[in-house]
Amino acid sequence: MRGNLETNARTKMLMQSVGPRVRQARKRKGITMDALAEQCGVSNQTISRIETGQSAPSLGLLPMLCAVLLVPADWLLGTAAVDAE
């Protein structure tokens, strides 16, 4: 049971850290949520839920977000040693 609580806590931290980074990279690139969603092949609601920390990107969506936003996955996940410029 303890393992599940730790996993849930890590997932929650991931969701909360990825969202602001997706928003930051999207705004830096100058595109709307609609445009990002279209380029990634997902709904605007999916992008909104990620940006607000209600959801984490799936493993299939993560590389698409990185490619469209031109950021490395380790930065998007908050594990990079240095912020992407």
Report pTM: 0.80
The least confident of 5-9, 18-22, 63-67, 77-81 is: 5-9
How far, in Å, are 59, 74, 76, 79 from residue 83 at the CA level?
21, 10, 9, 9
Q: Please report the pLDDT score of residue 82 as a whole number.
A: 56
Alpha-carbon span 10 to 28, nearest angstrom: 27
pLDDT in tens, 22-58: 999 999 999 999 999 999 999 999 999 999 989 889 9
The separation between CA 67 and the C-alpha centre of its own chain, rounded to angstroms, equals 12
Domain 2-73: homologous superfamily in CATH: lambda repressor-like DNA-binding domains (1.10.260.40)
Q: Please report the pLDDT score of residue 78 as a whole number.
A: 86
